[in-house]
Each structure stands twice: as C-alpha cells, then as structure tokens.
Structure 1
Amino acid sequence: MTTGLLKVSVVVPTYNSGEHLQQLFDSLLRQSMPATEFEVIVVDDGSTDDTPARLAEWAAAHPHVEVLRAEHSGWPSRPRNLGLARARGEYVQFVDDDDWLADEALARLYGYAVANGADIAIGKMTGHGRAVPRELFRVNRPDARLDDSPLIESLTCHKMFRRAFLLEHDLRFPEEHRKRLEDHHLVARAYLLSKRTCVLSDYTCYHHARRPDGGNLTASRMEPAGYYSSLREVLDIVDTHTEPGPLRDKLHRRWLRSEMIRRLRGARLLNAPRDWVDQVAAEVQKTVEERFTPAVAGRLPAVERTVAGLVAEGRVEDLLRLAEWDAGIRAKARLKAYELTGLTLTLMLSGQLHSNDQPVSYAPSDGRYRLVVPIDDVPAELLDCTAELGRARLDVIARHDTQHDEFFLPVHFEVDRVVGPAGELQLRYRGTAMVDFGTLNGGRTQGEWILKARISGCGWTLDAKLPLAVSCAADGARPVVVDKRKKKAPAKPPQPRPGGWRRLARAVRRRLGLARPQAVRLS
C-alpha cells in the first residue's frame, strides 16, 4: 500500500464488471501523476463472477491499489462511502467501473483544484453513449457559481472533492436500499456548501460510458413513485440551503426540465410503456403542483413550458401527440464553402430546424410570436417565444471520432428572420467558423475528426454533421480534408472570388478578436 502524503484517492465501486474493468485499469496505470502520489480504492459490492480474481491480481501487481470486499448492497452508494472512509488523499475522485480517465486527468484536475483553492473540481467530461453537460464545459470556470453558470446541470459524482470538505460537512451518499438519484443527494448539497467550485474545460478528463452489454449498478428502468420521492428529497436539500426567489427557482427548474419534462418529450415518451407514462405524468403533476412556483416553469423555453402545462392539466393524450411531432424535429445544416490554409480550416455554413421536412415556425399575433404546434387549445402564454427568438444560436463543434473529445470552435453567426408562405416566421442560421489544427485540443489532433453544426433555439439543441471528413496523420500535422459530397477524389472546394477567402478570414478574425490564424484559441 502507498504511504506518505497523497494528492488524490480514486474511489471506484464495482459489481460483476469482469472484463469491462480493463479500460479503467489501463487508464489509471497511464496517469501522468506518479503512482506514489495517488491511490486507487476499489470497493467490490459482493461480485459473484471473476471480478474479485481480477481485482486481486491487479492489487497484487500495483502497491497503490487497494481492494475492499463488501456484502452485496445492489447500489453504488455504500461502496462509495466505504471507499471514502478508507481514502487518505487530499482530494477524492469518484470514478465508475465502466468509465475511464484521460492520461493527464488526475494531475491536471488536482493542479487546477489547488491553484483555485477549490472544494470541488470538475473535469471536462465526454460521453460514450451517455449525455454530458456540454454547455458547462464551453470555457474554463475557476469560480463557477450556481447563480451565474450552468453548474447545476452536472449532478453526477464523477468529480474531485477536497476530502476535508466532505468530512467537515459529513457529505455521504444515501445508503437506503436502491435509492435513485443518489448522486444528486450528495452533489446538490456539496454545491450549496462549497466555498469554491472550479470547472476545467480545456482538457477532457473523464470518459463517461455506457457498457456494451447495458449492465451497470443503476441500469434498470426507474420506478416512478420511488424515483420522484427521492427527487423531492433533493428539492428539500435545495430549499434548506436557499431562500425563496430566483436562485431557488433556477435550481428547481433543472429538475423540472431534466428529470420530468425530458421524460415526457419526443421519442423517449413514445418508446415508453403506456402504464409507466401515466405513472410518470402523475408524479410530475404532483411535484409541479406541490413544489414549484409559477416562475419555475414560466422561464422555460416554449416547447418545454408547453409540456409542463399539459402535464399540469393531466393531458397525457396531448403529450403523446406533441411527442410525435417533437420526435421529428431535426437540425439541418448546409456547408456552403470551406478552405484549408495551412493548419486552419475555415467553414461557411447555414442551418435550420425542421419538423418532418417543414421548418419550425412561429405565428405572429399582436406583435408577439407563438410556437406552432399540432395541438389545439394550448394557452398562448405557453407557446409565446418572442424573447427566446433573440437567444437562438449557432455553434460549430469539432469532435474526435474515437476519443469523443469535443470542442466549441470560434464562430461568427447571424440568425435571419424569414417570413414563410402563410405569414409565419422562420429562423435561418448562417455563420463562419475557423478551426486551427495546430492548437485544437492543445495540439493533440491525431486521428479522425467530425465537424458538426449545433443549432439551438426555443427548447431544442440539436446537431447536424457537416459533410467533411478531416484526418490528421499525427499531432499537429496538416489535416487532410475530404468533401464527402463528392463521389470521387476530393476536388477543389467551392471558392469565392480571388482574394475573397483572405478577406473573409481577416473579417472573421476581427469579429472573433483574433490576430492571425495561428493565434486561434480553442476551448
């Protein structure tokens, strides 16, 4: 066992993981932080397969690895608490057994936490079959607060916590049998007690994965009554630490949107058993009526506000009809032109949100605009999206094809308001983005890259792949760009008039506050 002062304790709960542990094992052995500076505590929740043998072999070969054996609890809370009780590091990093860490994750995140005096440090996450809070990781946040950042969108426990902070406030995971949202219970309270929380976004630290076999400690379908009972306990935590007002409403809005409305939208609703849908709708209706002020739903985007309004009135059939339409919403993007100059790729593109090949539209009425939906008798205030139209945005994303590292690119965009054939308003997005493959991901660019347009507006944030295949033979190498719209070898891409790209690039850099292509900063 490792002795002396430790910087980080990595706590891993596991159960019947077998060969799925290998990727995590390998990532922990590749850490740039010396093995003498961190420990790994794996808590086996009574596995009945070959997991104990694998863990014993690993611990025997690596002195900084310790394995604890516990009686089967069926949930990750108790194993995590046992690992925390055993930990000796200055900070504790929780990792699930089907996830893994990037090679420099512990060193970078620990250094960032210490430099900022943080009680909690959150490393950028990327998802492999799982959703992650993308907007939180748009920029580095040395002092992220609940009232001025999307911090509340990240409620999994896969973070680095100062151990003294956890002990001071007796922060533990709830150990009641199979309590859902166990992460939320600890993390919500931790956020509300933390003196400083920082977010490291310029390096992907945590790879959050869904097992190929679909198995993990919390993979079963949730039981609505128990799930929402636990959710209301999390709301109690929020209410204990906040006063009535905008901050409490903002925090409540997170659970309304993510744990209630999203379950009652689109394909997720359509693919669920009807009796389960009825149970969820009843629990959501109860929670909205008993726990939320009108301002909680009132500040949602129009489509989400409409779902909340329908469920509050018990209109499940209308929810299903709305879901059929919502499931058909797609982001469509058109690559208008591109040019590669040295290591810098410049893109011109346009896009729009469509439903069943028709643009999403907004009906004018008395100087205001309402989202057009295929449901009758929806109150106008639920559909009013006048203010939201001004918050529509276009992003361009570079995503590594295998590692799934994802980066927002510098982009200048405009959203045009176009009048449709029936007098309805439609939004058309257009923009210009630049990506410097000399600085992207800190110069770690080897491999294939996917470029995507991300269109946001009125309750949707959807991606559309751009038809370019981009590959770098080595880190910092000049990318090879293939236009996938062309059947043969790539020909010369569309070109503006002579000198046009240089003028365009200069104009874009001025709008983005950039001096030269090689000075583009990506994060």
Structure 2
Amino acid sequence: MPPDVTVVVPVYDAMPYLVTCLSSVFEQSIGRDRLEVIAVDDGSTDGSGTQLDLLDTCWPNLHVTHQPASGGPSHPRNVALDQARGRYVFFLDADDYLGPEALERMVALADQRDADVVACHRRSVGGPKGIASPADHVPLAGRLRHPGIDAHDYMAALGRSAAAAEQTALLVALGDCKQLFRRDLITRFGMRFDEEMIFGEDTLFSATYVDRAATVSMVSDYDCYFERVRDDGNNLTSRLIGTLSHVESLELGLRLDDRPELRWRRDFTVRDAVLDLTQQVFGGRFLRHGPDARRVLVDRSRGLLATWLTPRVTARLPALDRVKAELIARGLEAELSELVRVVAAGERGPDTIRAGRVYAGYPYLDDPTVGVPASCYDITGELEVRHRLDTLRWDGPRLRLAGHAFLERVDTVEVSTELVLRDRLGRQEHRWPVSPVPTPELAQEHGRGRFAFAGFEATVDCTDVGDGRPLAPGRWNAFLVVGAQGVRREIPLGGSRSEAVDAAAGSGSAGISVCFGRLGTLTLDVGELT
C-alpha cells in the first residue's frame, strides 16, 4: 500500500541542520508507516552524503540518492518526483524542519476538503536579529485576514470563472513549493521543476500547479514549517543573491502572464519588466557589485532579454534603457558599467544632431568596436517641447499670436517653426511660417540648450488662407510645429498661456470666436466668412 505522503528533501551541504530536518519528519504524529522520505544528495562536500547513508540504515522509509552537484534544488527534486509513491508530496529544504503535527494536519485537511494543494503556516528561525523572512508573512492568511478561514473558502468564492488577474494574485500568494501537493495532479500534467532557473523555480512550479488545481486549502492555525535563515557564507553574497532573485522574479512574472487571455497586454508587460531590469538591477546600485558579480548579472539577464525583448518592445523604451538593453544583450559588462557610471555622475556628453534626429551623448555612440546601433541613442521623440502663448489679439480679420517655443536640448539655430490650423477631423489644414523673435531671457532660465531665438510671432488672415479663400466654417485647432536645426516636433498650441490670453478668449472677428479646448488647445470657431 503506498504511503500517504512522500517528503522530498534536496540536500547540499546541509550540516549540521540535516539531522534536525529528517528527525522532524520521522517524529511526525502521522506515523512513520504513512510516510516515505526521498533525500537526494546533490554533490555535498561537508559530509551530508555520509550522514544520509548513516540515517538510511536507521530509518527504513528513508531512501537516499547520490548525484553530482547540479547547481540548484530543481534537479534533485525532479529525481525524487520520479521515485515518489505517496498520495501527496511535500517539499522540505534540508536546513528547515517541521512542527510535530504538520503532516497529519495537512493530510487530514486535504482529505476533508478534497484539496489538491494545502498551504501551511510558517515561521523563520535563526539569522541576524531583525531580518524579515517570507515565512513570517503567511500569504493566504494575510490575504484572508482571519486565521479561521482557509483558502478553500476563498477559492469557492473566487470561482473557476474568476478574472485572470485575481487568479494570478492567488498564484503569487502561494509563494513557493513548501506546500502539500496531490501527486496525481503532478503526474497527470507531467509537472517538473525548471532546472535552468537559479531562483524562483519553486514559485513557478507552485504557480503552475495551483493554476490547475480545483481546490486550495491552508492550515493557518498551526506552525507547520520552520524555515531557517542562514548567514554562513555558503553561497554568493546576499547582495548578489537578492539582485539575482530580482531578475528571476521578473522572468517568472513574464512566464506567469504568458497566457492566451493576456496576450493583448504582452508588449506592455514586457516593457515594464525590461524597464525594471534596466533601471533597478542596472541602475546606480549595479556599481556596488564587484566586476565578477556584475558579469553574473549581465549573463543571467541576457537570457531574459533574448527570450522576451522584441523590436516592437524595444521601440517603446527610452533611449538610455535601449542602450543598456543592447549592452546587456551583447554581454558587454565593462561598457555597461561605464555607461551606468557616466549617467550616475552626470557626465553625459553633448548630443548629436543629424538628418533631423537627436542622438543622446551617452558613451559608445557610433563606436564600431561596441556596435550598439545609433537608433538606440535616438531621443528625438523624448525631447520636451516648451512653449507659452503670451499674446492673442485681433486686427480686423487677422489673428495675431506671439509667444515662445523651443525643443529642450536643441539650440534655436536655423529656426523653422510653423503655425498650423487643422479641422477637427484632421482632413484639412493650413500652415503659416512664424517670425523668430529674440528671447535672451530664456538663455538664462534654461540650462539644457541655448534658446536666444525661441520667440515667435504669427499672423493668420482668416479671410485669405490661400488663393484668396477664407477659412472654411467649422472648428479649427491650432498647433505649433516647433523646429530648429532640422529637428521638428508638433504640439497643441495654448496649453501654456498668459492671463492676458485667457482674458481674450471668447473674443473674435465677425463670424469667428476663440476658445480653449479641454486639453487647453486654442480653437477657432468659424462661421460663414466673406
């Protein structure tokens, strides 16, 4: 007769905690005859494998497998799953341990509720004082805010027809694989741990499983699982581990969102994840890591970008993030570190203007040895356009406008600004060149460029917009095409204006009135003109 529970324990250099871990299993109130324990030694170097062999002679229900180090817990867990015979499977880390009644309570609840997965209450043990462990934040209990309500009731209320966003929230709430799983469901769908992931493989497994589960329950009134916080220097530095975990969590979120009903928002989700990567992982804090750790982060992030970043998403990124992503994708850690340093120090070089485009002065622009495309540096679409409408007055049928407008980072040389009137449907438009006006005061107010000729004056003769024809009846919106040195950007005119202009609103020539739309755009309401 198969056991009720198979406890899976991946083991790597777990001494001296290993004995406490396994003792807590074989002392469970559920009884040894209802258990089997599969411990997989993943190339331990501290005597953990020898200790397992010794314990194997004492406990008949302990099955030990030895294998070369695989670099993570996924492969040992998968090996154990291939051997498991229990109705349920529970995953236990080798340096953690269970409360005496943990398995009995979880199995009883699973049988009572016919649950596919049972989450458990956890506590953290050890570690420096003040360190918060995820074990102290019981996901479902925190969500339900009542220790007497288990997740079965939550799922019943949620229903299998619930929105995908709510369902995803529940998947994230379960957190990791330290739960009781019905083995039949694992077998039916052939579920295994992703052996390519360094971190987050347990969350992905749990999320995939719960997404297929019909019923989820939780033992929330008993401390089932005691999670040990280790700080013994056995692994990478905690800073690097935390940053790698950040990268893994980003990729995990993308994989969880990669479902048919969410494909419509995929580009936006990927863009947000890449921005998180380039701005958080590869922001100023990136330089706190040493060169070796920085190379690890770059190498790990290359895979994420190779899988998820498309040209369409790249086009949605700001220039700095495009350049960072390109350097990451090319594995250029030294160049990426220099870029981050330059940005953090405010040492960005002068921008380059050519063929009507503006390219940011970040390192390695047009450097053939690095090979980042110039398009990654293009900030034309990011340039802020500043304007103000200071004067609006009528001289008979002529509308006279004056103010200033300029593109940030583009000196007002070779000014080519135009005034545009366009009908509300965008089918007709009329254009007038403006006369540049000196604005020496702006050169003092704004530091990112020289704007001595940002002023403009324009006159619109509403009775003659070309070939002696008057402006057609209807509503016409005003725009400025702000141009200098061949760079041009169009903006609605009037969003920024003086009080004098507001006072003039409503006035007009015969058959014409002036107003400002909901977004502040100057609008001419034209009747029949002769």
- Identify the TM-score tier after normalising by the shorter chain: 0.3 to 0.5
State TM-score, norm by structure 2.
Answer: 0.46
Q: In terms of Rg, which structure is larger?
A: 2
State TM-score, norm by structure 1.
Answer: 0.47
The structure, 1 or 2, with the larger RCO (C-alpha pairs under 8 Å, 6+ apart) is 1
